[in-house]
């Protein structure tokens, strides 16, 4: 396995000395360089066998440590109805206690407890505010299009973004990039709202999703949106898929300063606690 954070490995070293953008401001040169694999300090979207993932949390943690990540956010899906395999309240509490134990056991990786919630057709979320408030952060998704047209889908996304408990907009194009051409939403409106609300927008690097594509990423940078590069892993080994997102971000010309999970953990927490 090629480790992501080792600047001495051949892949990373080949990246590391180039791509510095000219900068008129008096600020960190690194923040104006194209993002590299070795810049990614943590991942904020993955799944365990608590709810739909293939592997137990400990296996995910072992892989994250092998990748030399500083932090990992666990974001299993919230249960929506009785037929759904997502986390119920009891499962949430149990998972939180396991995360607490693992954080005490390992000092080289910090686990965050997040949750992925699929927005309803009207943009509301399936968990009450007091439950959402107990997570380190909330990833709201728009995976199911509910047959909405562009205006309806955009209005739904805007309600999600305006929810004060939402920190990350996941699957921002509705997970359609691999199956449909065109994006049935007003992306400019959504990106403008996300930048204003300080909601990060996800580059979902899961090869089955590839949502946003690089043209959307470039537009997000233009609008000043904070992005995350997410592997959305459902298996431990798939955590490494964030690298596809790095390549996509580089194609879009994204700098580290645009990408939340290139920042230290304290800065990530501060963003979530804004
Ligand atoms: Zn997910």
pLDDT tens digits along 59-75: 999 999 999 999 999 99
Percentage above 90 pLDDT, the chain: 68
Taking alpha carbons only, the member of 214, 205, 213, 217 closest to residue 244 is 205
- The answer to whether residue 51 scores a pLDDT higher than 80 is yes
* Spacing, Cα 193 to ligand 1 middle (Å): 22
Give the mean pLDDT of the chain.
Answer: 86
* Spacing, Cα 231 to ligand 1 middle (Å): 9
Most confident stretch, 18-32, 65-79, 183-197, 203-217 = 65-79
Could you give the 3-state DSSP secondary structure of residue 32? helix
Could you give the 3-state DSSP secondary structure of residue 193? helix
Q: Which of 92-101, 137-146, 158-167, 250-259 has the lowest mean pLDDT?
A: 137-146
User: Could you tell me where the DSSP H helices lie in the chain?
Assistant: 10-16, 57-66, 89-105, 129-132, 150-162, 187-197, 214-222, 242-251, 265-272
Note the pLDDT of residue 11: 43
* Spacing, Cα 187 to ligand 1 middle (Å): 21
Higher pLDDT, 232 or 27: 232
The pTM for the full model equals: 0.87
Note the pLDDT of residue 20: 37
Most confident stretch, 6-15, 16-25, 103-112, 141-150 = 103-112
Domains along the sequence of the chain with CATH: 34-272 (3.20.20.140)
- The answer to whether residue 148 scores a pLDDT higher than 60 is yes
- Angle, helices 187-197/150-162, rounded to nearest 10 degrees: 0
Note the pLDDT of residue 23: 36
* Spacing, Cα 24 to ligand 1 middle (Å): 38
* Spacing, Cα 188 to ligand 1 middle (Å): 24
* Spacing, Cα 108 to ligand 1 middle (Å): 24
* Spacing, Cα 9 to ligand 1 middle (Å): 30
Contact 175, 209 (CB under 8 A): yes
* Spacing, Cα 248 to ligand 1 middle (Å): 19
* Spacing, Cα 236 to ligand 1 middle (Å): 13
* Spacing, Cα 76 to ligand 1 middle (Å): 7
* Spacing, Cα 143 to ligand 1 middle (Å): 9
Note the pLDDT of residue 274: 81
* Spacing, Cα 251 to ligand 1 middle (Å): 24
Contact 211, 173 (CB under 8 A): yes
* Spacing, Cα 130 to ligand 1 middle (Å): 22
The pLDDT-based confidence of 30 (bands split at 50, 70, 90) is low
The pLDDT-based confidence of 31 (bands split at 50, 70, 90) is low
* Spacing, Cα 14 to ligand 1 middle (Å): 31
pLDDT per residue as tens digits for the range 209-260: 767 888 889 999 999 999 999 999 999 999 999 999 999 999 999 999 899 9
- The answer to whether residue 101 scores a pLDDT higher than 90 is yes
* Spacing, Cα 252 to ligand 1 middle (Å): 23
Higher pLDDT, 189 or 25: 189
* Spacing, Cα 118 to ligand 1 middle (Å): 10
* Spacing, Cα 25 to ligand 1 middle (Å): 37
- The answer to whether residue 189 scores a pLDDT higher than 70 is yes
Note the pLDDT of residue 14: 38
Per-residue pLDDT, averaged over 109-131, amounts to 96
């Amino acid at each position: 396995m090629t480790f992501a954070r080792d600047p001495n490995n051949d892949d990373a070293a080949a990246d590391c000395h180039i791509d510095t953008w000219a900068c008129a401001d008096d600020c960190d040169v690194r923040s104006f360089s194209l993002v590299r694999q070795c810049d990614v300090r943590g991942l904020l979207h993955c799944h365990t066998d608590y709810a739909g993932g293939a592997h137990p949390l400990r296996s995910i943690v072992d892989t994250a440590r092998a990748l030399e990540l500083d932090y990992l956010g666990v974001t299993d899906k919230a249960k929506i109805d009785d037929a759904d395999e997502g986390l119920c309240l009891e499962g949430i509490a149990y998972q939180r206690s396991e995360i607490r134990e693992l954080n005490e056991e390992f000092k080289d990786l910090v686990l965050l407890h997040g949750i992925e919630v699929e927005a309803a057709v009207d943009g509301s979320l399936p968990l009450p505010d007091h439950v959402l408030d107990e997570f380190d952060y909330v990833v709201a998704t728009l995976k199911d299009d509910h047959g909405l047209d562009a205006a309806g889908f955009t209005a739904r996304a805007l309600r999600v973004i305006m929810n004060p408990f939402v920190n990350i907009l996941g699957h921002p194009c509705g997970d359609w990039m691999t199956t449909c051409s065109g994006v049935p939403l007003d992306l400019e409106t959504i990106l403008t709202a996300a930048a204003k609300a300080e909601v990060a927008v996800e580059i979902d690097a899961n090869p089955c999703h590839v949502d946003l594509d690089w043209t959307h990423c470039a537009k997000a940078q233009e609008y000043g949106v904070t992005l995350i590069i997410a592997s959305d892993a459902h298996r431990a080994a798939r955590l490494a898929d964030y690298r596809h997102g790095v390549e996509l971000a580089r194609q879009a010309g994204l700098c580290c300063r645009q990408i939340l999970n290139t920042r230290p953990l304290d800065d990530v927490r501060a963003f979530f606690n804004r």
